[in-house]
Each structure stands twice: as structure tokens, then as C-alpha cells.
Chains A and B, each alone.
Chain A
Amino acid sequence: MRICLVAHGYPPEERTGVETYTAQLAASFAEAGHDVEVFAACPDAELPDLALRRAVVSTGSAIYGVTRVATNSTPTNPEEVLDPPGVAARFASFLERERPEVVHFQHVIKLGLGLVEVATKAGLPTLYTHHDYYGCCHRYTFLRPDLKVCQRPNDSEACARCDVALGLLNSVEGLGDYQMGVEASALAPEVASKLAGLLDGDAVRAGGLAEGELEVAVERRQSLDKHRLEVFSTLGRRLSPSKFLAEKLESTGMGPVEHLACGIDCEDLLPLRITNPVSAPAPGKPLRILYIGSLVKQKGVDVLLEAFHRIQKAPGAKQRPRVELTLRGYASDSNWVSELSSRALEVGARFGGGYQRAELPEILAWADVVVVPSTWFENYPIVIREALAAGRPVIASRLGALSESVVDGKDGLLFEAGNSTDLARALGRLLDEPYLLEKLVSGIGDVHSVKDQVEQLLRLYGEQLAAVKGENFETAPVHMRAFLQRCSELEQTPSRELFRGVLGGLGRLADGLGVRSEDSQVSVVLERAFSTGDEAQSLLRDFKRESSWLRGALEGATNSAAKQSERMTWLEESLRDRDATITSIGAERDEQRQSRVGLEGKVEWLEATIAGQEETRAANDGELLWMRETITGLTEERDYLASKLASLEEQVSVLQGELVESKAGHIALEQLLRERLHEVAESGLLALRGQEQMVTAGLVPLFEALEEASGVRADPSLTTIEGGLDNLVAAVQEGLVNLQHVEAKLMTRVHEMQALSEEASQPMVRLLLARTAVGSRLSRWKQGEFIPKNRGTQ
């Protein structure tokens, strides 16, 4: 069977769990007689980005190919993290050449989901073994950037907060390899607070987020999660070495995930159970504790160092057997490793550095117990299998999938993740409980080997292959079937095999045609000569890609030159336009200069005008002062005239009253007189005559009253009776006439008073009018609206 394995790295460049497992699987398949081609990411600064390099790996009887793609570009956004540009196309060309029958993905981080899409599109059976949480967490660990375990799986908002929080860490300098996260204690308090605020959704503490930043991040993460789910849903088979991970993956809705334990290559470790059995600690025989694995933060090595320190400093430590701790492993986070090594030195632990797989038996032979203090969920750590295979119990965190790998009290012990006190307690039990270590060793069972797994996987591959609907030749006419079938076979043949087959065939053809027959090995020679290895082919592909790029660049440059030429033409036209504009502007400038001269004259005139206006204003100020004084005088005059008018009006009123009373008295008196005179004349003339004396005496008061009333002395002649009545009538009539004269005089006086009043009121009116006109003028002048007479606007 032609099997393609895909991994995000490969030994010797990468030697952590998945890479090591993939290499063991490839070798085992090859040893079993299958054709294996591995496709792996491998940054290589010496090569062009995305260059492919195939190497033949030979381990014992196993020979297989490993094609590395130079993933030199760094993703610039979450989309590129999920699908690095160009890698899928390179994988497609790899599949086209190698023609695997089945593709088994181990990991596609750094390679991209596009690889799964390419394989699916090619109609190939696909399987994916999930080695971590990549299928349901874009950080593949369920660890937040503050290294706390995520409590909100399948929540795009929580994932988006991780993105934004990581962006915050990006802006903090001196964090070392912070991509997986940084503990709050390693951050400045304000940064730690903001980080926690971002991750916990505390807007106040998070503060400073650009408007809509989180919404955009959520939308983007939703889209990416959806894409990831769709791609993983298309896989033919999804496998997980742990049930814990399988459940997490299934919770996304990607479909069933089968639990299938990974096998490891442990043939070199099994003999240790006999040759180097674990012995219980005793005086003179220390308890040897080993850590092997990646030295990254989430592996909890710092917790182990603290636990080791606690054991040594614990009361009664001197009465216990000694403890020794060795750390072995690789790391990319130099800051973190530096911290660990310093701490190891402080607490007396041995920091052994990295190791080759071949050294593992020796490393494990030294140890009594292996500690796996991870602070993340883990999945199926190979180191646990390796330790158990070598007969070494494992002390592991009680977290995630780890409790599936270590059975507490049977083949190891579990402790609370991240709790150095609890780890120290567990290790202390090994020192204090005489038979515990022995019991744990005896509890170790068989370890699933890679050979066992090869058989399981081949069965799965076979099932997947059987499910693929092959080409149906039965519908074609009989005479075509053989040809079609042969075409199909050759189309499925790897290019390398085709090449070899054709070269061999050409040798036979040359023989058959009689061209030469002496050297039957020519084809072998030719093959060697032609295929100076895959290197020549790879270089040619690179050159093709490069020349393609150069062609593109040339086309771009040509287009750019054409555009530049167009732009030049445009610029020349533009220049001409601008020349014309400059000429026009020059003319305008001259006009403006002339205008400026005119304006300067105008300015002078305006300045003179302003001076004049200022003078006028000064004069006006004087005038204003004078007018104010005038107004004051006029006001006083007005007040005087008003009081005088009031007095006169009062007099007029009195006189009018008097006049009215006089008129009324006059009329009443006239009426009375007429009535009395007529009565006296008619009825008592004789009596009156007889009583001349008495009447005469009686008339005196009357005359006096008349005199008093009319102011006219009665005629003395009236004192005689003879002719006295006529005289009296005449005197009364004369008195009436006099009264009329008095009335006329009074009226004349009234008119005079009125005239005088009117005359008095006119200056006051003028004064008021004058004041109003002056006020209005002043107001306008102050508001700048003053317009000099006879000038108008310029």
C-alpha cells in the first residue's frame, strides 16, 4: 500500500511527540513492505519559501521518502495561521507525483487545513489522528494566554479574546517565547490586569480596546472556527489516542472520533525491566526522579522543581533517603529554559539538556520514577509509554487525558496539577512507603507497540480504500477495457515508478530494435545519470517557480513600465497644463500686483479716511458732549415748562370752574330776576310803589349782591323808584353784557394760557426729537456703519 503520512515537523529537526511517533510509524510501515512518503513542514532559510526537498530515509530494512516543504514565511494573521498561503498547492503537486493510496494526517499546524482539502478533493481516503486539541482550539492546548486552562470550549468569543490578548502580549517586550502564554506573575501589574480583564470579559480592567475590535475578532474567529469544523468534518476517519480528547473533539460537531491508542517503538526499552529494574530508595540509594520531554511552560517543570525543593527542605528530610532529579529535553523558549536552569541549579537538580532517541534507554535506566507535571490537558504523552515500557512508574498531573495514561496507585501516582505541595507529597510517599515503588512497578502492564498499531491502521486504511468508489470499467465496450484499466493504473502510479519503468522499458526497446545489446545495465546507469537524485528535480522545480515568479515580476514590471509611461505622458500633459497655468498665474500675478498698488493707494486713502473719521469721531464726541449738555438743559427746561404748564393748566382749570359757576349763577340769577321782576311788576306794582322805601331799602342788598356778583357798581340812579325799574332792567342787561365781556376775557385768557402752554411744549418736543436723532447717529457710528456723507462705498 502507498501510504502518505503528514506531520508538522519531522526528526531530526523536530523531535517532540508527534514527530517521533510519525517517524516510528513511517519506519514500521516501510519495514512491513509498504511504500511510505512523509510530507512535513521544515523551515529552511537556505531554500526559497515553499521549496520541496525529498530525502530518502533508511532505517534498518525500512526505506521511505520524506518530503520537506520549506515553510519560511511567518503567518501575518489568524487566517494565515490556519492556512499558510501556498502550502496546499505544494502538497497537491506532491500528491500528484507520489500518488499515495491513503493519506494519514498526524498534524497540519504550520501546514494548514488546505492539505486536508486537497487530499479530499483528490478523492483520496483520509484519516487524521488528533494528537492535541488543534481540532477544537486554535491554540491547540486549551490554555489561555495567561496559561490558565480554558473553561469556555467551542466559544468563539472566548477564542477571540485569546486572539486579542495575544495581541496585547505582542506589544510587551522581553517576554521570550510568549506565544503559548505568560503567567500573570511575569507581567507588569497593569499588563497582567489588562490581560485578565480581556480574557475574563471585564471591560473596565481590559480598557483601551479600539471600538469594535473585539466584535471584529469574534466575527473572524467564528468564520475560522466554521472553516476548521467543515474541513475536519470531511475527513474519512478521525482518530484520537485518548477518550478525553475524542469527547472534546466530538463536542464541536465534527462527527465521530474513534479512540485508538498510539503505539510506540519500545523494543529497546523493554529489556530495561530486567536489566535495570527499579529499586526502592534506601539509605545510600537515592530516589532518582526523571523528567523527559519538551521544556515548555505548560509542561510544568517549574512545579516539579518546587516540589523537589520542598522534599529536600521538608522536616525530617535528613532521615529520608536522598532524592535526585534530572531534567532532559529540548526547548525553543530560551528565556524559560534559562529560568528553569537557574532554578534547577538553586535546588540541586541536574539539567541534562536535549537527547537523541538512541540515548533514551540509558536515560531511563538511571531513573526510578518519571514525572509528567503538565499543567495542560495533554493527550497521549509518548514519554509516559516510554517510561512504562522501561518499567518506570509515572507520577503525573491529575488533569485532562493524563489520568487515562496513568492509573493512580497501580502504575503510578496522580497529583493536583500545578500544585508543587501535592507533587512533593506524592514523591514523599515513594520515600516513606517501603513497598509502594515496587507495587507500582508490578502494576505496569504491556505497552501498545507501533507494530501493533501498524496492523490496526492497515485495517482502517483498507476499510477506507474499500469505501472509495473506483473507476468502473464494466460499462465500457469490452475492447476498450484493458486499455482503460491500464491507463488508470498508470495514472495512479507514482512519478518515480513511472520514470523507472520507462527507463527500464527504453533499455529493452533499444535491445528489441537492435540499437545496442551489449550493456544491459545501461538503464541503471542512465537512471543514475538522469536523476542526479531528486535534488536536480527539486532545483528545476524551484527554478520553474522562481522563473514563474520572475515572469510574473517581469510582467508586473512591464505593466508598471507601461503604467509609468502612461503616467509620464500624463505628467507631460500635466506639465504643459501647469505651464499654461503658471503663465496664467503670472498674468494674474501682474494683475494682482497692479491691484495691490491700487489697494495700497486705497489703503492709504482708507487710513486717511480713518484718520478723518477719527477726527470726525472726536468732533462728534464733542458734539455728543454738547448735545448731552443740551439735552440736560433742555430736560431741565422741559421740566420747568412742564411744571409751569401744570400750574397754568391748574389755573385754567380753576378759572374754567369759576367760569362754569359764574355762568350757572348768572343764568340762575337771570331766571330768578325775571321771575321775581315779572311777579312784582304784575301783582304788586302798587304795593311796591307804596312800599317804595321799603323796596328801595330792599333793593340795596340786591344791588350790593349784584355788584358783588358782577363786579359792576349799580347805577346810583336806580335808587329812585321813578324809572328805577327800567333803569334796573337796563342795569341788569348792562350787567349781563359786562358778564359776557368778563367771560370773553376769561376765554381769551384761557386761549392765551393754552397758546402759552403750546409754545412752552414746542422746545421740549424739539429737544426730544434732537436727542433721538443724535442717539441714532451715534449708535450707527459706533457700529461702523457710519458712512461719510458724499462718499459712498469704494
Chain B
Amino acid sequence: MSAHQPVTVVIPALGNTELLDANLPHLFAEFTSRNVADELILVDDTGKGELAVWAKEGLRDKPAKLVIREQNGGFAAALEEGIQAASHAQIFSMNSDVRVRPGFLEPLQVALASQPKSEIAHRVFAAAPRVLLNGNEDEIESFAKCQQLLGLLTTRAESPQGSLVKLPEGNALVPFAIGGTFLFRKADFEELGGFDSLFAPFYFEDNDLCWRAWRQGLCSLYVPSAVVEHHHKGTIGKLLSPARRRAAVERGELLFNWKHLDDSELLDHIALLYRRTMDAWLADDREALIWLQLALDSLEEACAKRKALASSASEATSKQIQGELMHRP
């Protein structure tokens, strides 16, 4: 696969045109620099076509298309609709508050085409750039770790402040591409079934997608030579209190566990949840009870999807994936 294939960049967006005005010029500059007919698909997820007016000027004479969704559906749903409209085989998904740095695409394309050094992965599914939190060089949010221990599978960012952890300088295997900012093949995405609506409205859909890929032998790779900046001016932070954002994260993690936790860990997991429940009750920790209840609201769907995943006997276990990641280059 050539490193110079054109790429479709898909950006789901709500009505914040200031972000687009600020960040898209950098993307188009990269397109111009590469000169391989890259394209942008901007997905209007306002449900009201609010970006149409802006796009007449903002996307004029640009290699870009505007896809207007009839109803707001969130990042994952909008991204899927954008992917469907993509002209190219390689997709780079990103948030509207991400600003790319020059030359970010090429290392990702090279990584995507590379052969992973892994016993269970035969191909790279996702190539994730070095995402600088608010543009700070020492705050990298895209290097993740995972751990399956005592009945819980956790996949979290290694450290939002890279200065605390020595991050690899070269490409490295990661459990998932954080933040939905990564390069992948459209065909792989579609074969995996795209994002799981179980995690709607947000959080953990990227973890789940990448983990499903891992289980099918498709790894995720952290590519530090590709750099983008994430300025965190998106919608969720504005609309949700920290407590509710935390609730969405905790709920997502529980659902992720119920889908992907190895059978051998389930008894510990159930015991852990009972213990958490007891602790929360005794300590008047209402929030922990709310997180559990939010996840339990979707337990039937989660269990059904777990069963669907388990039907493929050739899949790697979470323990295997964890073992692979522990020895990552």
C-alpha cells in the first residue's frame, strides 16, 4: 500500500463554526502539500443543517463535501455516515477541535501499511497520532494502556501528562486509538461493524471498536511522529457537568467489560461489582450506585453483544491482547 494514497478526513461537527474556521485551514494546507487528492467530509450533526450556510463560503473551492444529517446522533453515528460518503479507502477521523500539524498524515499511512510486531495481530487497524493536549508538547493523550486484573479490564490513557511517564519515541502498540483521532481503512471499519451503539451517547465507542479489531487480529498503533493538537473545545464538556461526564465514562467502562472481559474473569467481576455496591451503599456513595445503574440499564444489550462476539472461536482473548501490549515495542 502506498504511503501516498489519498485520504478522506471525516469530521463530525455541531454548530461551532469558529472551530472549523480555526482548524480546517491547517488541514487544507496539508492536503495542498500532499497533493494527492485528499478530501474532507464534514458531517453536519446539528440535525438542523446549521452548517450549510457556513459551508458555502467555508468549503468553497476546497476538496470537501458537507454531509447533513437529518437528526443529531452524536460523534459515532455522524462519523459512520461520513465514512459511508467517503471516496477513499483510508479514513482519518477527527474531532472539530483538533488542529493538525504539517506532515501528520504520512507517518500514519506508513504505520497503517506496516506489518505489526505482534503474535496475535497480523495487520494494523488503526494508526493514532501523537495527540497533544491543548497543543502542549508534554501532555500526550493518545498513548493508552490496558489492564485486566481482579475482574476488571481497564483501558485508559497512560498519562495525560507525558512528563510523568516515559513514552516510546517510536511506534508502539496501544489498546486503542484515543479520542477517535486515527487513520484506518474504510473496509476494516465496515467489516468490524463500525461503532457500537451500546455506548451511545459517547465515550468508549473507540475503545470498543479497537478492542474488537484487536480480538480479530487487527492492532492499533501509536505513531508519535504524526502530531495533532486537541484543544478540547467540543460539545460534551460544555453540556455536561463533570459528574455526568464521569458517569458516562464509568458506564462505558462497565459495558466494555461486559462485552470483552474474559470468561475466566467474570466471577471476580460480579463479586467486584457486589463489593462496589456494598461499599457505595455503606459509604453513602450515591454516584457509584448511579454509574452501576446506568450500565445495568443496558445489560441485556451488552450481554447479547458479548454472546455475538464469543461466537467467533478464533478471536484473541483479552488476556492475550493484554499480554501482547505488555511486551509492546
Contact = CB atoms under 8 A, between A and B. Distances in A.
Interface of A: 93, 96-97, 476-480, 482-484, 486-487, 490-491, 495, 498-499, 501-503, 505-506, 508-510, 512-515, 526, 530-531, 536-537, 540-541, 544
Nearest to A530: B278
Nearest to A97: B284
B303 A506 contact: no
Interface stretch (B17-25, B93-101, B134-142, B267-275): B267-275
B270 A510 contact: yes
A509 B273 contact: yes
> Which 9 A-B pairs rank lowest in CB-CB distance, beginning with the nearest?
A505-B296, A512-B303, A479-B74, A498-B289, A478-B72, A490-B290, A499-B281, A502-B292, A477-B72
A508 B290 CA distance: 17
A479 B281 contact: no
A513 B281 contact: no
A502 B289 contact: yes
Contacts of B71: 478
A484 B71 CA distance: 18
Contact of B200 (A479, A502, A510, A536): A479
Nearest to A479: B74
Nearest to A483: B201
A307 B226 CA distance: 101
B297 interface: yes
B141 to A, nearest CB: 22
A515 B240 CA distance: 35
B273 A506 contact: yes
B258 A478 contact: no
B277 A499 contact: yes
Given A93-B284, A487-B290, A495-B289, A479 B296 contact: no
B294 A490 contact: yes
Contacts of A482: 201
A537 B72 contact: no
A506 B277 contact: yes
B284 A501 contact: no
Contact of B47 (A477, A501, A515): A477
A508 B284 contact: no
Contact of A96 (B266, B281, B286, B294): B286
Nearest to B286: A495
B248 interface: yes
Contact of B201 (A97, A480, A498, A503): A480
Interface in B193-222: 200-202
A498 B288 CA distance: 10
Contacts of B14: 477
A513 B200 contact: no
B281 A477 contact: no
Nearest to B75: A479
Given A96-B284, A491-B286, A513-B303, 11 more contacts: A96-B286, A478-B71, A480-B202, A487-B294, A501-B296, A502-B289, A505-B299, A508-B299, A508-B300, A509-B273, A513-B266
Contacts of B200: 479, 483
A508 B46 CA distance: 37
29 contacts: A96-B284, A477-B14, A477-B45, A477-B46, A477-B47, A477-B74, A477-B235, A478-B72, A479-B72, A479-B73, A480-B202, A483-B201, A495-B284, A495-B289, A498-B286, A498-B289, A498-B290, A499-B289, A502-B293, A505-B296, A506-B274, A506-B292, A509-B258, A512-B299, A512-B300, A513-B269, A515-B270, A530-B281, A537-B284
B122 interface: no
Nearest to B273: A506
A505 B235 CA distance: 31
Contact of A503 (B235, B269, B277): B277
Contacts of A480: 74, 201-202, 239-240
Contacts of B283: 540, 544
A537 B290 contact: no
A513 B282 contact: no
Nearest to A491: B290
B244 interface: yes
A476 B74 CA distance: 11
B117 interface: no
Contacts of A484: 240, 244
Contacts of B73: 478-479
B77 interface: yes
Nearest to A539: B282
B306 interface: yes
Contacts of B281: 495, 499, 530-531, 537
A517 B267 CA distance: 13
B293 A505 contact: yes
Given A509-B258, A530-B281, A502 B296 contact: yes
A462 to B, nearest CB: 26
A477 B296 CA distance: 24
Given A506-B273, A513-B270, A514-B266, A479 B297 contact: no
A483 B248 contact: yes
Contacts of B289: 495, 498-499, 502
A501 B74 CA distance: 29
B113 interface: no
A477 B201 CA distance: 10
A499 B239 CA distance: 28
B59 interface: no
Interface string B254-272: 0000100001001101100
A499 B293 CA distance: 9
Interface string B286-324: 100110111011011011001000000000000000000
Contacts of B77: 479
Contacts of B273: 506, 509
Nearest to B290: A490
Nearest to B46: A477
Nearest to B299: A509
A508 B296 contact: yes
A701 to B, nearest CB: 164
Nearest to A509: B299
B284 A498 contact: no
A67 to B, nearest CB: 13
Contacts of B244: 483-484, 487
A569 B146 CA distance: 53
A498 B283 CA distance: 14
Contacts of B202: 480
Nearest to B310: A514
A503 B200 CA distance: 24
Contacts of A483: 200-201, 244, 248, 294
B296 A506 contact: yes
A525 B187 CA distance: 50
Given A479-B77, A495-B286, A509 B296 contact: yes
Interface string B233-250: 001000110001001100
Given A480-B74, A486-B294, A513 B258 contact: yes
Contacts of B270: 506, 509-510, 513, 515
B189 to A, nearest CB: 20
Contacts of A514: 263, 266
Interface string B36-52: 00000000011100000
Contacts of B292: 502, 505-506
Most A CB atoms within 10 A — which of B267, B270, B300, B306?
B270
Contacts of A509: 258, 270, 273, 296, 299, 303
A480 B76 CA distance: 13
A487 B74 contact: no
Interface in B4-31: 14
A499 B285 CA distance: 10
Nearest to B268: A515
A717 to B, nearest CB: 168
Interface in B170-191: none
Nearest to A513: B266
A477 B74 CA distance: 8
Contacts of B72: 477-479
A97 B273 CA distance: 21
B299 A515 contact: no
